[in-house]
A and B are shown apart, each in its own frame.
Chain A
Amino acid sequence: MYFWLQVQFFQMINNKLTWPVVIISIILLIAVVFAIQIFGVRNRIDTSVTAYKFEVLDSPVSGMLKSNNNFLNILMLRMKNPGIENNGVFKFELLDNQGNQVRQISFGGMNIGDPGDLRFQFESIPDSAGKEYRIILTPDDSEPTVFVEVSKEEEISYTSYFRTVNKSLAAKSFANLLKGKIVTNLGFFSFWILLLFGILVYDLRKKS
């Protein structure tokens, strides 16, 4: 099959079919990627706080989270347990703006990489959209100290996710995500498209 494809490619590389075949191949590639993203992915990004540095976790560290979507269900934190030597017990808490505990997870030091992303997955919160939460990470007194990534404001850095409950919502959410990335980086996308277009035009004009 591969041999056959390669032979076909050799034969068509210098004829009129080259560009249509290349462009169709690219469209097919992107279609497959988008299909996986829309039909396969269930937990989608909600919001995030950018990391700035690792902070020693020798006392409770906290951070604020304002969820943009309902069904908030995952928080990803980045931590570092040098040499994976600390095997103490740590506590992750999610509190609402009244200070009530909404979710809590205890975890061992052995779950922390050197460094590594740590995933806190809990039962999704159905009405999380627009609500504020406080994240608290509490260490015990075990040694050696571990680190957690924090923002410039020294609050926990994280990425939160929500669970999509139907495919149309998933498609809409994915389209919005993509649109947001393109709109906020319009300069680059314009340059990129122009560059691709330039290569295409250069080759076709030279040929004619």
Chain B
Amino acid sequence: MGNRRIYAVAAFFYIFILPLFFHPDIKTIFYQSQFLSQGVTNIYSFLTSNPERAMLGPFVYPPLAYFLLGFIYLPVKLLAGSGFTEWLAMGNDAVGVNGIYQYLFAMKLPLLVTFFISGNVLTRLVDGEKTRRRLLVLWFFNPISIYTVGFMGQIDSLVVMTTILAVFYAKRSPYVASALLGTGALIKSYPLLLIPFFVVLVSTRWRDRIKVALPGFLVYFIGIAPYLTTPAFYESSLVSGLSQRMFQLSLDLGFGEQIPLIPLSLVIIFLIATFKHGGNIGKIGAYFLAVLIIIVVGVHFHPQWALWALPFLFLFLTRKGKRKRVMWFALALYILGWLATFVLIDDKFLTWGIISTFDRGVLFLPSVSQIVDNFVDAEYIQTFSHILMAVSGVFLAASAIFSNDK
């Protein structure tokens, strides 16, 4: 029996949950991207100069996210039916409209397709039918995928697909892989951080490394070049939440001096990649995993950011097989830590809001952190959960880097 059963079960499960669960992010980005069909090519300056149209705030993603979602807006609108555009313009609690289920289904469906493509490409990165099945089951049926793709419908699944494709093409065509990372960075910026790690694993010669890095940075630069003179682009997209948060975790040395720990960790990982595994492209998944886990566990993360490292985490774990039960235990702790950390963030749209399509009165319930506060300090639990996630994440990342697996 092949993987068909897994795809069928996953399709059934995700198609069932797609229309029923809601998060405002996908509505916001589709509202902003629909301006492409009205001929708006610079969404950053458009929303600044037309504040009455900025009903859902500024556009905070790099430009390709706008063009990609703006391009699929018309077919999505056709599938979504009447009232879709008006609904997009409504507030975050606009879940009482009758067409909500159809709207959510139409918006999330393209992202689900990319999620399935990612799963399919992942299976091509491992050998053995049993390993492939195991990888697919993990990819489709884990709390992070179910929550971020099925419940929220985050566009991160698009970027994740580009990073998986980059790993797929890493050996076959490093230039294509590099360009894919640059393309991904035009949807969400984080793949840009992966390019230096990718190029040092491609070759031992700096000349080749620079040649491979060029397509990635060039694609990114060409993509953002038209917006470099737009101040709103800097404010809302280029200086993103991630780039600022990466510098917040730091060691205070006194006398106004600080050492930011995430950049420090990334530099250390980069040095290990260069001097221990330089030219060993087989380790690309391990380094992508390490970089992305370090970034996510070291910042005040959005839950969907956990999806970034997931494919490489599962690649590592399935290659390991059942030999290392401690790895599976670490994965369980990582997911538990992730869940408890974001559930206690004081944002109802991450918890009750997800089920608000049935009755938005659920948004008036006290947040989970307020409920927990009645029994025990929620901040304390959240800190402990984040530590749990960080420790297990770093353990998994280190194990991947230093494992003997290719």
The answer on A and B forming one complex is: yes
The yes or no answer to B355 lying at the interface (CB within 8 A) is: yes
Shortest distance from the beta carbon of B236 to any chain A beta carbon, whole Å: 12
Bin chain A's interface residue count: 35 or more
Contacts of A159 in B (CB 8 A): 93-94, 96, 360
Tally A-B pairs: CB < 8 A: 167
Shortest distance from the beta carbon of A106 to any chain B beta carbon, whole Å: 22
Query: Scoring B residues 40 to 68 as 1 if CB is less than 8 Å from chain A, else 0, what string do you get?
Result: 00000000000111111100000000000
Contacting A at CB under 8 A, from B97-117, are 97-102, 105
Query: Scoring A residues 23 to 43 as 1 if CB is less than 8 Å from chain B, else 0, what string do you get?
Result: 000100110011011001111
Shortest distance from the beta carbon of B359 to any chain A beta carbon, whole Å: 5
B137 near A181 with CB under 8 A, answer no
B12 near A22 with CB under 8 A, answer yes
The yes or no answer to B13 lying at the interface (CB within 8 A) is: yes
Given A13-B6, A82-B51, A200-B12, answer yes or no on A185-B361 (Cβ-Cβ < 8 Å).
no
Q: Which of A13, A37, A44, A207 contacts B355 (CB 8 A)?
A: A37
A199 near B8 with CB under 8 A, answer yes
Question: Please, which residue of chain A has its CB at the minimum distance from the CB of B21?
Answer: A33
Contacts of B55 in A (CB 8 A): 51, 53-54, 78, 80, 115, 149
B105 near A192 with CB under 8 A, answer yes
The yes or no answer to B286 lying at the interface (CB within 8 A) is: no
Complex Cα distance, B337 from A2, in Å, reads 12
Contacts of B71 in A (CB 8 A): none
Given A76-B93, A185-B101, A188-B105, answer yes or no on A6-B138 (Cβ-Cβ < 8 Å).
yes
Given A9-B137, A161-B361, A185-B102, answer yes or no on A36-B93 (Cβ-Cβ < 8 Å).
no
Which of A58-66, A124-132, A135-143, A172-180 sits within the interface?
A172-180
A37 near B9 with CB under 8 A, answer no
A192 near B100 with CB under 8 A, answer no
A195 near B15 with CB under 8 A, answer yes
Q: Which of B55, B57, B335 has the most CB of A within 10 A?
A: B55
Complex Cα distance, B137 from A30, in Å, reads 22
Contacts of B4 in A (CB 8 A): 203, 206
Question: Please, which residue of chain B has its CB at the minimum distance from the CB of A45?
Answer: B96
A147 near B9 with CB under 8 A, answer no
B91 near A51 with CB under 8 A, answer yes
Known pairs A33-B20, A51-B55; list 6 more (Cβ under 8 Å).
A6-B138, A10-B134, A18-B9, A45-B96, A54-B52, A199-B12
4 nearest interchain CB pairs? Answer: A203-B8, A2-B332, A188-B102, A78-B91
Residues of A within 8 A of B (CB): 1-3, 6, 9-10, 13-14, 18-19, 22, 26, 29-30, 33-34, 36-37, 40-45, 48, 50-56, 74, 76, 78, 80, 82, 114-115, 117, 147, 149, 157, 159, 161, 174, 177-178, 180-181, 184-185, 187-189, 192, 195-196, 199-200, 202-203, 206-207
Question: Would you give 26 A-B contacts (Cβ < 8 Å), ordered by A?
Answer: A1-B332, A3-B331, A10-B134, A10-B137, A22-B13, A33-B355, A36-B362, A37-B355, A41-B361, A43-B364, A48-B96, A50-B86, A51-B86, A52-B89, A53-B53, A80-B55, A149-B91, A159-B93, A174-B359, A177-B358, A177-B359, A184-B98, A196-B12, A200-B8, A203-B12, A207-B5
